[in-house]
Structure 1
Amino acid sequence: MDPWQSFQQQVLPRKTSKENLDRFIPNRSAMDFDYAHYMLTEGTRILAFKNKAPAPVELFPRKCFSPEQAKPVRPKRHIPQTSERTLDAPDLLDDFYLNLMDWGISNILAIALGRTVYLWDASSGSTSELVMVDDENGPVTSVELGSDGKHIAVGLNNSEVQLWDSTAIRQLRTSKGGHRTRVGSLACNNHILIVEEWTVGSSTMTGHNQEVCGLKWSASGQQLASGGNDNLLHIWDRSMASSNLATTQWLHRLEDHTTAVKALAWRPFQGNLLASGGGGGDRCIKFWNTHTGACLNSVDTGSQVCALLWSKNERELLSSHGFTQNQLILWKYPSMMKMAELTGHTSRVHFMAQSPDGCTVASAAGDKTLKFWNVFGTPEAAKPAPKTNPEPFPNVNRIR
């Protein structure tokens, strides 16, 4: 037999084989379906010898996303771009080095127009005249309300300082001989009155060689900042002053500004942080740690810095400017991102003052106008009921 033929017979199945069919037909004659059903349903139990797999851990618990637990998103605060009110301020001196407006805790705003100091009661809208000085003594060169909101210090061009009771409209005393020139800045701290480089009832503080144009006490009343036309910024510590000493040495002398330093503002609730602003050739706002004397940051604003105010409710700083924009700028602190630019004045915005509740800012400029801005807003938890007080100056749209 041929070997190949023999191999085919051994390996290849025959066509007649049942296993060579194209499909499988099972033989069910030996199957007992009733028994099988019994064993699956009623028979021996199937036991599990392994513990169940642990439940998966939720990386982000559902309660974090529940509406009840979600923190509400604070809506973006609207900052009005225009002033709420504008009043005429005739005879307001267009002088960068003076300080002619202040707003005290009793809600009284004091402003000097030429030789006269006027008081506006923001609660009632009424106005009154505090004092009109003589031609030979005037004009008024500085105004400062005391920390009690009752006493007012008035600096004059003839180097005198008058202390007044604003409630009784009565002059309490006059200080003479402390200066050779005009009194351009004042700073009150309880019963201590700082008048440029000398103190009523205390020692003399000497450090500037030109006119002092900025004076501010810290909130604690422990430190005093002074800025001058000599480009210097001094930090004084009250504990270093003594009536037994002829002069008091400064704590820090800061020489970073390149022009006059008038704008000064201590940050509320952080007693060692001071903001200062330079004049037209400097244009910078600088931030200082007054404990160490270190400059923390410096921002070029692009124009003369006339005044600075911190918000009492937010981490914000407001600056007023002169040449060339004559605007107010609201900054976010500490990023110093511009939040808003408020325009409306046509001349240098020399003076700013803040209401006791920290919401309203008054600005006075060389264009002889006084504007009120709702720039800092009202805290959500303390929004007052709508005011029913009459408008200030209802008969005339001017401050006198």
Structure 2
Amino acid sequence: MFWSIDLNLLDWNSENLVAIGLKSAAYIWNGENNTVAQSILLQSPSTYVSSISWLSARTCLAIGTSNGEVQLWDIETQKRLRNMLGHMSVVGALSWNQHILSSGCRLGSIHHHDVRIAQHHIGTLRHKQGICSLKWSPSEKLLASGSSDGHLNIWPCDPASTKVNTPIQSIVNPTAVKICSILWLPDTRELVTGHGSPRNQMTVWQYPSLLKLNDVYGHRGRVLHLALSPDHKRIFSAAANETSFIWKYSK
């Protein structure tokens, strides 16, 4: 495995396809028959996949890379549709909001890309430390971002704003436990975050109060990746010690 604390290498779409990034390739696993359906190999073997995100139920997969690129791929034809530049470091997190793709890098910047136009970079947000996790809400009105210094920010949906953007809500972890992954639960007003040492737990937060509801334990390594099943009833979690769990979620 090639999983790091600030990489997001797992995503699950509504067609029950799971995309997993390993080194310089992305593998597509079919949840219906438990087989690897396709694989995508980056053109440069020295470049590794650093983040992955599906475009809704379609066959388009966004891939962030170690050299700062954001690539769009058609998994059926296994062809790269476009390559979007702008980041100066590893792209560790990606999240879609319709035609807007948001990407976060180790230098702390979040870029908004409008994939419909040639001049794709339409807005920027900033953390003081590297972006570890990024996720648009099911309503598409809020963006949650986690950084390596333990900050969880909630941003309004205004990708093309020319003003200096500030989060509308923030949680600052006083012990600077890194927030490795974020997941919105569309059937409840809740967020789930994956964490590192000392407890390697998943934490459930109520939204918009951001009150902690529960901690879920089981992993012995940093909870690096979270993905929600198409029926919203299962959570796939993967940790740094190369273990993966599927949790049954019910309100």
TMscore range, shorter length: 0.7 to 0.9
Match of 1:227 among 140, 146, 160: 146
Matched, 1:146 2:49: no
CA contact (8 A) 2:69 2:91 kept: yes
In structure 1, stretches of 5+ residues that fail to align are: 1-90, 260-280, 284-303, 380-400
Alpha-carbon distance, 1:313 to partner: 4.7
Matched, 1:125 2:38: no
Q: Which has the higher helix share?
A: 1
Distance 1:357 1:218 in 2: 16
Alpha-carbon distance, 1:237 to partner: 3.5
Question: CA distance change for structure 1 residues 169 and 346 in 2, over 3 Å: closer, same or farther?
Answer: same
Distance 2:216 2:146 in 1: 26
Q: Aligned ranges for residues 12-23 of structure 1 at < 5 Å?
A: none
Matched, 1:216 2:135: yes
CA contact (8 A) 2:124 2:159 kept: no
Looking at CA atoms only, which structure, 1 or 2, has the larger radius of gyration? 1
Question: CA distance change for structure 1 residues 312 and 235 in 2, over 3 Å: closer, same or farther?
Answer: closer
CA contact (8 A) 1:206 1:248 kept: no
CA contact (8 A) 2:133 2:180 kept: no
TM-score, length-scaled by structure 2: 0.78
Give SS of 1:147's match.
coil
Distance 1:204 1:317 in 2: 25
Question: CA distance change for structure 1 residues 174 and 234 in 2, over 3 Å: closer, same or farther?
Answer: same
Distance 1:117 1:100 in 2: 9
Deviation string, structure 1 residues 381-400 (Cα, Å, up to 9, x no partner): xxxxxxxxxxxxxxxxxxxx
Question: CA distance change for structure 1 residues 180 and 307 in 2, over 3 Å: closer, same or farther?
Answer: closer
CA contact (8 A) 1:108 1:122 kept: yes
Matched, 1:190 2:109: no
Distance 2:125 2:188 in 1: 36
Matched, 1:354 2:238: no
TM-score, length-scaled by structure 1: 0.52
Instruction: Give the fraction of aligned pairs with identical amino acids, expressed as a percent.
Output: 32
Deviation string, structure 1 residues 218-250 (Cα, Å, up to 9, x no partner): 2232333333335555544444725xxxx4431
Matched, 1:163 2:72: yes
Matched, 1:199 2:112: yes
Distance 1:156 1:148 in 2: 22
Alpha-carbon distance, 1:105 to partner: 1.4
Give SS of 2:145's match.
strand
Matched, 1:114 2:23: yes
Give SS of 2:27's match.
strand
Distance 2:220 2:94 in 1: 27
In structure 2, stretches of 5+ residues that fail to align are: 105-109, 114-119
Give RMSD over aligned pairs: 3.1
Matched, 1:376 2:242: no
Match of 1:321 in 2: 195
Match of 2:172 in 1: 257
Matched, 1:92 2:2: yes
Distance 2:15 2:185 in 1: 18
Moved over 6 A (4+): 330-335
- The residue type equivalent to 1:184 in the other structure is G
Alpha-carbon distance, 1:135 to partner: 2.9
Q: Aligned ranges for residues 57-68 of structure 1 at < 5 Å?
A: none
Deviation string, structure 1 residues 120-145 (Cα, Å, up to 9, x no partner): 111232213432223322x2111111
Distance 2:14 2:222 in 1: 27
